[in-house]
């Protein structure tokens, strides 16, 4: 059994531009789900044609219930909902997975003129740094994959997302699904046409020689800037976190598994055990 792991998000999907419709209450959310699922299918089909037996896809957006299982092509195992120990990369550690792809990705918080740019949770984080480097979701997730020896073969999103991907996947095929004008505006082809181009690009990625995994050396220092003083204050009660200033904290971890687990905790923890979504 040879598997490809796909981490799929929504903000980098062709046609997606409104923050309002990223969640179920949004007027266009149903369409966004459909477009996201179609892009996942397109990349999965390219993987199957390249010889993969199965795809493991992790829904990495919002409530974790965005990809529509009824619309998926066969042989896609779908990871849904939260929390997960490896956050957006749950099951990258499966021994049958030999590589990964990032579909519908977006830029890090603070990236200028990039549609819907944020880092894991715009509600929780103003910024994240990993070993001093501005860390997008792609940067951190590629480091998680690299810790298991798995390279990133393909990345899709807007142009700024691809510029970022060159830091962690320099040998990958990078495909722009749209052009951003700002945080809430972009232009793209219709979803059906965008999916055809996406599949062709993914096919090139799976046909070419694999690049090296993105490996960082431990320790892994995560610095997060929270959006609220109270959140930073409460996290600061944890004795292994250092409070840098009113909004920022940092901690050091022995592995990227631990580091991404902490980021997931900081983004999702609720004392009543209920999801913030």
- Asked if residue 252 belongs to a domain, the reply is no
Confidence (pLDDT) at 273: 75
Mean pLDDT of 156-183: 98
Confidence (pLDDT) at 241: 96
Where would I find the beta strands (DSSP E) of 45-151? 54-59, 76-79, 97-105, 125-130, 133-134
| CA–CA gap between residue 230 and residue 234 (Å, rounded) | 6
Q: Kindly report, residue by residue over 225-273, the tens digit of the pLDDT.
A: 999 999 999 999 999 999 999 999 999 999 999 999 999 999 998 887 7
Beta bridge partner(s), residue 61: none
- Asked if residue 12 belongs to a domain, the reply is yes
- Asked if residue 254 belongs to a domain, the reply is no
Mean of the per-residue pLDDT values for the chain? 97
- Asked if residue 243 belongs to a domain, the reply is no
Q: Kindly report, residue by residue over 92-119, the tens digit of the pLDDT.
A: 999 999 999 999 999 999 999 999 999 9
Determine the structural domain holding residue 141 and report its residue range: 3-119+136-207
- Asked if residue 275 belongs to a domain, the reply is no
- Asked if residue 269 belongs to a domain, the reply is no
Element (H, E) at 174: strand 173-182
Q: Report in angstroms the alpha-carbon separations of 55 from 3, 93, 224.
A: 5, 14, 32
The pair of structure tokens assigned to 268 is 């999702």
Q: What is the CATH number of the domain that holds 30?
A: 3.40.50.10780
- Asked if residue 231 belongs to a domain, the reply is no
| CA–CA gap between residue 174 and residue 80 (Å, rounded) | 25
Reading phi first (left if > 0) and then psi (alpha if -120 to 50, else beta), residue 113 is in left
Q: Work out how many domains the chain is built from and give that number.
A: 1
The pair of structure tokens assigned to 116 is 């819907």
């Amino acid at each position: 059994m040879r598997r490809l792991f796909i981490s799929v998000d929504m903000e980098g999907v062709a046609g997606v531009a409104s923050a309002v419709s990223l969640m179920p209450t949004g007027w266009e959310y149903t369409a966004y789900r459909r477009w996201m699922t179609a892009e996942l299918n397109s990349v999965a089909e390219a993987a199957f044609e390249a010889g993969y037996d199965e795809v493991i896809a992790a829904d990495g957006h919002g409530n974790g219930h965005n990809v529509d299982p009824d619309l998926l092509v066969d042989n896609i195992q779908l990871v849904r909902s939260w929390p997960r120990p490896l956050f957006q990369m749950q099951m990258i550690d499966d021994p049958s997975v030999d590589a990964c792809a990032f579909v519908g990705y977006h830029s890090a918080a603070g990236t200028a003129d990039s549609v819907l740019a944020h880092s894991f949770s715009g509600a929780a984080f103003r910024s994240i740094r990993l070993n001093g480097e501005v860390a997008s979701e792609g940067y951190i997730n590629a480091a998680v994959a690299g810790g298991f020896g798995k390279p990133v073969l393909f990345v899709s999103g807007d142009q700024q997302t691809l510029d970022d991907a060159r830091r962690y996947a320099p040998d990958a095929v990078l495909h722009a699904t749209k052009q951003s004008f700002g945080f809430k505006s972009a232009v793209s082809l219709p979803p059906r046409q965008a999916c055809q181009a996406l599949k062709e690009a993914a096919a090139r990625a799976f046909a070419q020689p694999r690049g090296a995994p993105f490996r960082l050396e431990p320790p892994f220092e995560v610095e997060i800037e929270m959006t609220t003083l109270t959140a930073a204050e409460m996290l600061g009660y944890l004795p292994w976190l250092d409070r840098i200033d009113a909004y920022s904290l940092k901690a050091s971890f022995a592995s990227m598994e631990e580091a991404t687990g902490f980021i997931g905790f900081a983004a999702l923890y609720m004392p009543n055990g209920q999801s913030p979504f």
